[in-house]
């Protein structure tokens, strides 16, 4: 952890979380990499250093080359199936359950926030936990198909109409889920504090949400390993691993182990 407890930024963040009226959190891939889920953009290890996204993770790829799409997705889905919430997920859930966090907006599709106990999670890039038929639009839990897919590579098809099932994750060329996106924007408009956790803030339109919150008068805390465009406007920038920094923040805010 580069940022050490009780330095200026750490203490500032604690004070902001304790005193905020309405806090929201925006999480990105960096909040799930400690759970063993690979991110997309890290030099050398990110998925997009090994694959061209438009060839494997676009709506066109899914429509015209579904076998290639599902072949690419299979190891990632396996990672997500095996992953467990890490200390950052758990700490955020504790803060939410204690009333310090009102909404978590996540770019991640792994469902780890909910598994950690968070209740109000907005998945702006969708989720891998459900599938929707491209023919009759019936939705199914991924758990009904995941074992055959992971073990044997079986592509999921609708039991009702026989058409292919699409994971409910947002692909390139695809719009964000409208109701979720509108709720995320509204959360930015009414919050007085936003924490950015594990996001490089490079993917629009979600990357614009911290600037939107600032425009409406909110303070911003950034917890991330690398710089973001909003750092210069942030009240506190904590550089390091979210799985170390966020639990440390939560322990201070919740006064763990103190009389």
3-class secondary-structure state, position 118: coil
SS3 content of the chain, % helix, strand, coil (to 5): 45, 20, 40
The closest alpha carbon to 239, from 62, 4, 51, 11, belongs to 4
Give the SS3 label for residue 82: helix
Catalytic: which of 4, 79, 89, 125? Answer: 125
169, 197, 237, 221: which is closest to 7 by C-alpha?
A: 237
Measured distance CA(178)–CA(53) in Å, rounded: 23
Catalytic-residue membership of 125: yes
The C-alpha angle with vertex 179 and arms to 175 and 184, in degrees rounded to 5, equals 90
* Token pair 């905020």: residue: 20
Angle formed at CA 219 by CA 216 and CA 223, multiple of 5 degrees: 130
* Beta strand extents in 109-249 (DSSP E only): 121-123, 126-133, 139-141, 165-169, 193-197, 219-224, 236-239
Quote the CA–CA distance of 118 and 7 in Å, as a whole number.
Answer: 28
Element containing residue 158 per DSSP (H, E): none
Residues identified as active-site: 125
């Amino acid at each position: 952890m580069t940022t050490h407890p009780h330095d200026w930024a750490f203490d500032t963040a604690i004070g902001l979380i304790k005193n905020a009226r309405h806090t929201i959190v925006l999480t990105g891939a960096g909040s799930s990499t400690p759970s063993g889920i690979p991110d997309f953009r890290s030099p050398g290890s990110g998925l997009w250093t090994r694959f061209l996204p438009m060839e494997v993770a676009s709506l066109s790829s899914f429509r015209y080359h579904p076998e290639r799409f599902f072949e690419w997705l299979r190891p990632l889905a396996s990672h997500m199936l095996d992953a467990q919430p890490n200390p950052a997920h758990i700490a955020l859930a504790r803060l939410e359950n204690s009333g310090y966090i009102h909404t978590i907006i996540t770019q991640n599709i792994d469902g780890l926030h909910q598994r950690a106990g968070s209740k109000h999670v907005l998945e702006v890039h969708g989720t891998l936990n459900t599938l929707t038929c491209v023919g009759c639009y019936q939705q199914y839990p991924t758990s009904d198909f995941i074992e055959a897919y992971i073990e044997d590579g079986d592509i999921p098809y609708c039991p009702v109409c026989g058409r292919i099932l699409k994971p409910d994750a947002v692909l390139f060329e695809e719009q964000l889920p409208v109701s979720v996106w509108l709720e995320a924007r509204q959360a930015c408009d009414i919050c007085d504090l936003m924490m950015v956790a594990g996001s490089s803030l490079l993917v629009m339109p979600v990357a614009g949400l911290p600037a939107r919150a600032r425009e409406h008068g909110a303070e911003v805390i950034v917890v991330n390993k690398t710089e973001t465009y909003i750092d210069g406007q942030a009240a506190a920038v904590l550089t390091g691993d979210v799985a170390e920094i966020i639990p440390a923040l939560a322990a201070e805010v919740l006064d763990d182990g103190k009389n």
